[in-house]
Structure 1
Amino acid sequence: MKVGGKLADSTLYQLISGGKLADTDIEQLHESCRIEAKKAHDKLPESIWDTYSAFANSEGGLILLGITEDSRHQLHITGVADPDKLVRDFWNTVNDRSKVSATIITDQDVAIRHSERGDFIVINVPRASREDMPIYIGQDPFSTERHRGAFRRNNDGDYHCDREECRAMMRDSGDGPLDRRVLTDFNADSLSSSAISAYRRYFKQIRPAHPWRNLPDLDFLLRLEALARTQNGDIHPTVAGLLMFGHDHHITQEFPNYFLDYREELGGNRWDDRVTSGDGTWSGCLYDFWQLVYTKLRLAIPHPFLINNESRRMDENPMDTAVREALTNTLVHADYCGRRGTVIIRRPRVLEFSNPGRLRMSIEEVEQGGLSDTRNPTLMKMFFLVGIGEKAGSGFDTMREGCDFAGTSHPTLVASTQPDRVTLTLQYIAAPTDDRPSSESVEGPRWTLHSHLSKSEAEAFKHLMSRKELSTSELAEIMTLGNSRARDLLRSLVQDGLAEVIGNGRSTRYRLKTTEVSSPDGQAN
């Protein structure tokens, strides 16, 4: 079920602004996820509060009193007998905390309108702030009694929120960061040492003068807020630390629905390549997943030859940045208590990023930019410290710039319910397969999985990623190298845990480790 449509009809803005409307303007409207019409001739219907709660807990909307919908789903003005009395009754009830949990509207949101067919009332219900959610009727948000409890909007109807939806809204209503909670049932051994090693190596490359760079691991993780010290002096992971660096079997003890899934669906097969957090061949943590998936995505993006002001080739383009931002946002905004896990799918020309949880701001606010309300700010900080992620509130602008550069349509954002999910779709231009030798040098910043590789090693790794398996002579021919130099490059990839040897003697070949994420020193996670 899709929600979150925009108030695109200009008539709606006229209704809010208070202009006198012709009857034909109303007849152009119909009930939807943002419009609800109620006859309300001489009293407020009980169902008005279901809709008030539903709009407040969804994307907001307009309640029209004195207007009915016919069998053809057209709206008609039928009028109210005493609009002033109905407005007073509305304010008396909405301000009664025994009947409605919060008042989220102002005087400007309620107005009486006049027409040739009668008076009607317009009530503009905005989306509630997450601090006020869930907005509910009566005393119990979990109630499923008629005209009691919390509601959400689904197309042109209101439905009761289930307990999972209510709890999710309550989690999001707190002031403190959700990912800073200390997990006293776990210790530092729950974290992957190789994931931490890979992160620290990258941290040193990005921030070579940072005062944390040479700290012992324990002190580094405490400052990063991946670990925290309790009042009795014991050290335990935080939620962010466990998600970022933990082993999958530990993460799923705390978050049973935790699941990371990357799929490439490029042909007739169900999938052409897949990486999942629970396959047991790598740690399953967010950092390792980010590295592995971004490398695969970046290889799919075309990289035209660009020169910067210093006459050096620019190895990263705006679409790279857009994809990096989309992947990072998907991981840091996910509600890891939610169902169905985090899924990234690469299809021909389209990338789809989907995470559990509802948006903490309206779709309009996200697309407009300038504001940020990260569900997991500690995770965001961890990524930011290694140069991953744009400044707060600029993510959607960054993705639009990438699409403009690539000549594709702007990204689309959709919020779904039951269960809550957010899906971002980003169109890209698929990179053609090209196994020809490359004489172009790689300059500037690197955002690849193994940024410690030399230029030649990185190029060899790219060809191995493309072909899955190579012999020494094949790589030598592709890269225009001698057999000895090609053999050294492949052996280096083996030492780094990126490739494995199959066969021996003249039959020796080197195969890509497709689901193995390795630390720079070659230790498997």
Structure 2
Amino acid sequence: MELAMSFKNGDYKLEESQRLEFKEAAAGLPDDLWESYSAFANTEGGEIVLGVHEDKASHEYSSVGVSEAAKLVDAIWSIARDPRRVSQDILLADGVSVISRDGLDFVVIDVPRADRSEKPIEVYEKRQKKFVAYVRRGSGDHRATAYDIDGMRYDKTPKADRSPLEEFSLEALCQETIQKYRRVFSAVKQNSPWNSDSDEDFLYHIGAVAKGHDGMLHPTRAGLLAFGFEYEITSYIPQFLLDYREETSEDIRWEDRVCSESGDWSGNIIDFYFLVSERLIRHFKSPFFTNEMGTRHGSKNPVTEALNEGVANAVIHAHYGTAASVKVILGSEQLEITNTGGFLIDRDVAIAGGFSEARNPTLMRMMNFIGASDRAGSGLQDIWSTWSDAFGCEPVLTESYHPSMVKLVLPVFSGMGGPAARYVPGKYDEAILGLSEQSQGGVTIEQVSGRLDISERVAQKSLKRLFEAKKLNRFRDGHRFRYVPYDTRA
């Protein structure tokens, strides 16, 4: 995501990008200027610069400037405020300016990212005689797809995830998930009067169910996502997918996986969060204390808390539309957390903290009740602070399009997470060799981690080193390896 490219600030190249568009304006305002206005407003925002010529053959740009810049500025303001041409004027008071550079005048239109309540920003298409919305894809403006429009309209609906889904009964919700959630809720909020509620009353209080037009209780959108069975959720959102994979080994595709469509667990958001949190705590074992659910309350492990915050942030802010997914992939060098849906506020504002804008406010409320999210808007700020202070590096947060996706990348190279998570070649060789000799069936990464009280990452690197040194042999056992003394037939 190119945040630094700015013609106004002088930090730019003569090439178009996600946030920078050039137009010549030799014969007045070009008609396609408003396509770019709509595209920037509906995406990340950006600058439209008038006074730059594009050679159609070479696609190279050159500065030519504009004549009568003041008239162009007046024309821009006139059209931007005309409801017959533009659905809404979102330009700030200083949003159109004239900049002189190398003896040439340029007009710069600084288009902000539209607020969720304002989207979609549409412009009148003369040829089709109707209003049309555009989105920015790299260096081009494109007609918004039905998926794009659906996402914008969902985001502008207040409390959209609190609406009852009358086609579902309470039987669509998993009782085991509800009871697990209630146990954590009661531990976190011991004095809440809701702890003595019936399940129906409790679900009503947290926003998981609501009364429909028939006077009966039905799951809300948030309630179905949080507590529903996967087959019920996918009957409503066909492409719904929650996926966690551990891909830390070069030898096999993945060592562990939690997938909502596997059919051996509920497949809902609450269980997904608990299952992933449990694995992250185990994988990034450290000398700090972390409670069993990995929630913020009572935990003293900043690493796992930051990781859990990243997962909670993804499931809360994902767009659960036509293509709805949250993916968490743990690799050997980084943890990637991806969710469908774009940013609701600028990236820098989100990282700075202090401002919270949830796509699914009811779901956020549910997660907050069990300490799994920060409604104060400091979640990303805490992640950045942890990685910067403890590990000397920063995460990477990016936005991509078609479909809209947000990806958070957390470097997890060796040396992170305290002494128990730090890999020192040879440190555990003797202990691991002893374990392999004592076990008739060989040892796994998980067993070495548990017996030696080290992280699974350190265990995996140590076992791999011993295998490559021909001190251990190994054989496949399902999706993982078992390691045995080298003279044992594998």
| Short-chain TM bin | 0.7 to 0.9
Q: Which amino acid is the alignment partner of residue 188 of structure 2?
A: I
1:281 to 246, 253, 264: 264
Match of 1:301 in 2: 284
Q: Which amino acid is the alignment partner of residue 311 of structure 2?
A: L
Match of 1:13 in 2: 9
1:206 to 188, 210, 214: 188
Give 1:146-157 correspondences, 5 Å limit: 149-157=132-140
Q: Which amino acid is the alignment partner of residue 149 of structure 2?
A: C
Match of 2:249 in 1: 267
Deviation at 1:323, TM superposition (A): 0.6
1:99 to 72, 79, 85: 85
Deviation at 1:478, TM superposition (A): 7.5
2-structure distance, mates of 1:96, 1:382: 43
1:46 to 25, 31, 37: 31
1-structure distance, mates of 2:430, 2:42: 55
2:177 to 163, 188, 195: 195
Match of 2:22 in 1: 37
2-structure distance, mates of 1:236, 1:306: 40
Structure 2 residue 163 is the aligned partner of structure 1 residue 177: no
Match of 1:111 in 2: 97
Match of 2:484 in 1: none
Contact conserved, 1:303 with 1:316, CA < 8 A, in 2?
Answer: no
Task: Work out which structure has the larger RCO, using CA pairs closer than 8 Å and 6 or more positions apart in sequence.
Answer: 1
Structure 2 residue 447 is the aligned partner of structure 1 residue 467: yes
Deviations 1:329-382 (A, max 9, x none): 111111111415211100113111111111111212212221111011111111
Deviation at 1:177, TM superposition (A): 1.2
Deviation at 1:115, TM superposition (A): 4.4
Q: Which amino acid is the alignment partner of residue 241 of structure 2?
A: F
Structure 2 residue 66 is the aligned partner of structure 1 residue 59: no
Unaligned runs of 5+ in 2: 291-297, 415-420, 432-442, 454-476, 481-490
Give 1:410-429 correspondences, 5 Å limit: 410-429=394-413
1-structure distance, mates of 2:26, 2:178: 66
Match of 2:355 in 1: 371
Structure 2 residue 240 is the aligned partner of structure 1 residue 258: yes
TM-score under structure 1 length normalisation: 0.74
Deviation at 1:30, TM superposition (A): 2.9
Secondary structure at 1:335's aligned position in 2? Answer: coil
Q: Which amino acid is the alignment partner of residue 366 of structure 2?
A: M
Match of 1:384 in 2: 368
2-structure distance, mates of 1:315, 1:359: 29
Contact conserved, 2:203 with 2:209, CA < 8 A, in 1?
Answer: yes
Unaligned runs of 5+ in 1: 15-24, 308-313, 438-462, 470-474, 480-510, 515-525
2-structure distance, mates of 1:164, 1:279: 26
RMSD between aligned alpha carbons? 3.2
Deviation at 1:58, TM superposition (A): 1.5
2-structure distance, mates of 1:333, 1:209: 29
Counterparts in 2 of 1:368 and 1:252: CA distance versus 1, 3 Å: same
Deviation at 1:464, TM superposition (A): 9.4
Deviation at 1:144, TM superposition (A): 9.8
Contact conserved, 1:318 with 1:401, CA < 8 A, in 2?
Answer: no
Q: For this pair of structures, how many residues does the alignment match?
A: 427
Deviation at 1:72, TM superposition (A): 7.1
Give 1:134-153 correspondences, 5 Å limit: 134-138=120-124, 149-153=132-136
Deviation at 1:396, TM superposition (A): 1.1
Q: Which amino acid is the alignment partner of residue 46 of structure 2?
A: G
1:167 to 150, 153, 156: 150
1-structure distance, mates of 2:114, 2:59: 28
Counterparts in 2 of 1:286 and 1:115: CA distance versus 1, 3 Å: closer
Secondary structure at 1:138's aligned position in 2? Answer: strand
Q: Which amino acid is the alignment partner of residue 328 of structure 1?
A: A
Give 1:226-237 correspondences, 5 Å limit: 226-237=208-219
Counterparts in 2 of 1:154 and 1:182: CA distance versus 1, 3 Å: same
Contact conserved, 1:41 with 1:66, CA < 8 A, in 2?
Answer: yes
Structure 2 residue 141 is the aligned partner of structure 1 residue 158: yes
Counterparts in 2 of 1:168 and 1:144: CA distance versus 1, 3 Å: farther
Deviations 1:26-59 (A, max 9, x none): 8x54322222121112311111111111111121
Contact conserved, 2:288 with 2:300, CA < 8 A, in 1?
Answer: no
Contact conserved, 2:318 with 2:324, CA < 8 A, in 1?
Answer: no
Counterparts in 2 of 1:436 and 1:331: CA distance versus 1, 3 Å: farther
Q: Which amino acid is the alignment partner of residue 304 of structure 1?
A: P
Contact conserved, 2:299 with 2:305, CA < 8 A, in 1?
Answer: no
Contact conserved, 1:403 with 1:428, CA < 8 A, in 2?
Answer: no
1-structure distance, mates of 2:278, 2:43: 36
2-structure distance, mates of 1:86, 1:216: 66
Q: Which amino acid is the alignment partner of residue 320 of structure 1?
A: T
Deviation at 1:435, TM superposition (A): 11
Structure 2 residue 123 is the aligned partner of structure 1 residue 130: no
2-structure distance, mates of 1:305, 1:96: 60
1-structure distance, mates of 2:70, 2:18: 27
Counterparts in 2 of 1:34 and 1:232: CA distance versus 1, 3 Å: closer
